[in-house]
Chains A and B, each alone.
Chain A
Amino acid sequence: MGVAKYIKNEKDAIQEVVYQSGIKVKPTYTPADLEAAGFEYESDLGDPGEYPFTRSLHPQGYRSRAWTTRQYTGFGTPEETNKRFQLMISHGQTGLNVAFDLPTQMGYDSDDPMAVGEVGRVGMAVDSLRDFEIAFKDIPLDRIGSGLTINAVASITLAMYQAVAEKFGYAKDKISATPQNDILKEMIGRGAWIFPVDDAVRLVGDSIEYAVRELPRSNPVSICGYHIRESGATPAQEIAYAFEIAKAYIDNVQARGLSAEDFVGRFSFNLNVFGNLWEQIAKFRAARKLWAKMLREEYGVQDKKKLFLRGLFGGGGSGLTKAQPENNIMRGAFYALGAALSGAQTTALCSFDEAYTIPTPRAALLSLRTLEIIMDEVGLRDTVDPLAGSYFIETLTKQMESKILEEMKQVKEIGGMVHAVASGFIQRKVAQQAYEFEKGLQDGTYVKVGVNKYTDGEEEQPDVDLHQYDESWVDRQVDNLKELRRTRDNREVTRTLKALEQATRGGKNVMPYLVECCHAYATVGEMAGVLREIFGEWKEPTIF
């Protein structure tokens, strides 16, 4: 959804515009608005590449480098996924973002009773290092970075990525993995959590601490405002909650004796682009500035490069509709425009059929082409932060800053993000907002083309070629898994799992032990099983 609220008169003239974040928008903006907002170029913007980076992290923006494109990709077996990776790369995609199936995300092997019906359905099934060897075959891991959309078992998956790179002969300081690894947002709005909050945050801290030393090109965490927004948060809340989550992880790692300066430069973000164009652009500009300010003023980070808000700005799923799915192609183009006007380093688009299922190759390529056209044809690489100086955009950016800070203050006041999530405060809030938005959609307060305006009148399901789930993938995956268990060195598996257990109980950093387990071909289910045994599972707070 994410559309603004428009109050119109009977002649369809707009009388009032209110953005989701709570900002009222005027018909006209002039220099007087900038003055009233106290706008000052040096302190509010700085030149591109200069603190506080409002305009851009880099002096030349897209002139030096086009954005990295990473369509979310993965389904079925590792073979199928490898084929789709190669297809996308051959069409110009410059990075990977791996989708895993739910059993993998939840730490279950493909033959676990809990996995029934889900193997290879929403992403690739991964049971062991063997599957990574197949999935990443012929992918130049020193040139192509991989986002890994994995959270509860991110430490396992990151270890496995290091293991497969080593197996293929790449040095671990040359590879670039970005495990999403943001468990707090799972607990708010994505649902793929396993362990209780404190243990889950410990695992995040372990992977950050480890990556800083051992995987210097990797980004051990990608804090996701994206899903928080998908759950019902406003754009201002999206940034506020993402920053408060970041603080929780920073604090966890600092408590181990490192200083933020040592590691925060490898943090990345995954932020959402849908809904009102201007609100998104102002949001990202304000976010860059606030992140840099926060790190410098609250954490004493000095090195300019470590103040960068690096991230994937893209999406956004809940902007798309099932009705009239081809409209989503156009929506994607506008979201891509928003991302480019916001200076996104990395981007991706939800594909037009994604309200139904996994994208077909055609739909995925349409998304990629959209991103390529934006960069190569219509001028988004010409100059940095082209909207800077706009009376409207600069006023709006300052207003978004205030809104974000307000929302952050509220989280601080109730005791910080870990407490806010453990107690269900954030979940209740965003669910209530989601309900209000849905009511507004149903009563016409918010307009969604094809859904409550310009509806076809057709009752038929539109003619969309859909990706088909193939049951034979499951058989193949399970057969391979059984074969693996027979042929691997099971004593080595037992030894490494035992070492993992002892290290976990002993409060050690689990990462090196996980890498050993992966090399021994321990399975995801076995490794996660050790952690489950020790930590138990989170009990969600009630939200009513």
Chain B
Amino acid sequence: MADKRIKIVVGKPGLDGHDRGAKVVALALRDAGMEVIYTGLHQSLEQIVKTAVQEAADVIGLSIMSGAHLPICRRLLEMLAAEQISDVPLVVGGVIPKQDIPKLTRMGVKGVFPGGTPFAEIVSGIQSIVTPI
């Protein structure tokens, strides 16, 4: 199998404008050799899913600083199912309290990387999610 670059859509859903984390992680993923599409701010979940479909993304990453990660991820996973692309893994970062990580995992989120997670951990985490052994 040819070595293909992992293509990730990094999305900022909703009204929140705190994008430093999303941009910094996007730059780190790009430096790690991934192809990064950063959606910019104020995206609806529909827009993010549409971008992921159009770009044939290997993985979708959401940056959520507002505290609304549980309802947002739940909705996005439902939408991926509706688009029949549930095989595209969802990972999430931002302001995620520890107690919510198991809830997200149970929901079907494949990776949770709260703010402060070392870049190496995010990169290898995404790599192992996209290309499971």
Contacts and interface: CB of A to CB of B under 8 A. Distances in A.
Interface of A: 102-103, 105-106, 108, 114-115, 117-118, 121-122, 186, 189-193, 230-232, 322-323, 356-357, 431-432, 434-435, 438-439, 442, 451, 461, 469, 540, 542-544
A435 B38 CA distance: 15
Nearest to B23: A431
Given A102-B15, A544-B36, A322 B115 contact: yes
B41 A118 contact: no
B103 to A, nearest CB: 14
B110 interface: no
B67 A540 contact: no
B24 A191 contact: no
Given A434-B23, A461-B98, A540-B41, A451 B116 contact: yes
B20 A231 contact: yes
Given A106-B15, A540-B41, A442 B119 contact: yes
A232 B20 CA distance: 8
Contact of B97 (A114, A190, A438, A461): A461
Contacts, number: 84
Given A439-B119, A442-B118, A544-B30, A434 B66 contact: no
Interface of B: 14-20, 23-24, 26-28, 30, 36, 38, 40-42, 44, 66-68, 71-72, 95, 97-99, 115-116, 118-119
B47 to A, nearest CB: 12
A432 B17 CA distance: 18
17 contacts: A103-B15, A117-B68, A191-B17, A191-B19, A431-B27, A432-B27, A434-B24, A435-B23, A435-B28, A438-B24, A438-B28, A439-B119, A461-B98, A461-B99, A469-B67, A540-B40, A543-B38
Contacts of B20: 189, 230-232, 431, 434
B67 A357 contact: yes
B24 A192 contact: no
Interface centre among A115, A117, A540 (most CB of B within 10 A): A117
Nearest to A439: B119
A469 B95 CA distance: 15
A contact face: mostly helix, strand, loop, or mixed: loop
A114 B15 contact: yes
Contact of B72 (A117, A431, A442): A117
A17 to B, nearest CB: 25
Given A117-B72, A191-B42, A192-B15, 9 more contacts: A102-B14, A117-B71, A121-B66, A121-B68, A191-B41, A192-B17, A322-B116, A461-B97, A544-B26
A118 B15 contact: yes
List the 9 shortest-distance A-B pairs measured between CB atoms, nearest first.
A191-B17, A102-B15, A431-B23, A117-B68, A540-B40, A435-B27, A435-B24, A461-B98, A192-B17
Contact of A431 (B24, B97, B119): B24
A192 B30 CA distance: 26
Given A322-B116, A461-B99, A118 B14 contact: yes
Contacts of A102: 14-16, 66
Contacts of A106: 15, 42
A108 B15 CA distance: 10
Nearest to A441: B116
A451 B71 CA distance: 29
B17 A544 contact: no
Nearest to B95: A356
B118 A118 contact: no
Contacts of A434: 20, 23-24
Contacts of A231: 20
Given A191-B41, A544-B36, A544-B38, A117 B17 contact: no
Q: Which of A230, A432, A435, A543 has the most CB of B within 10 A?
A: A435
A186 B66 CA distance: 17
Contacts of A323: 116
A389 B87 CA distance: 66
B89 to A, nearest CB: 22
Nearest to B118: A442
Identify which of B15, B40, B68 gathers the most chain A CB atoms within 10 Å of its CB. Answer: B15
B25 to A, nearest CB: 9
Nearest to B71: A117
A63 B42 CA distance: 47
A118 B38 contact: no
Contacts of A469: 67
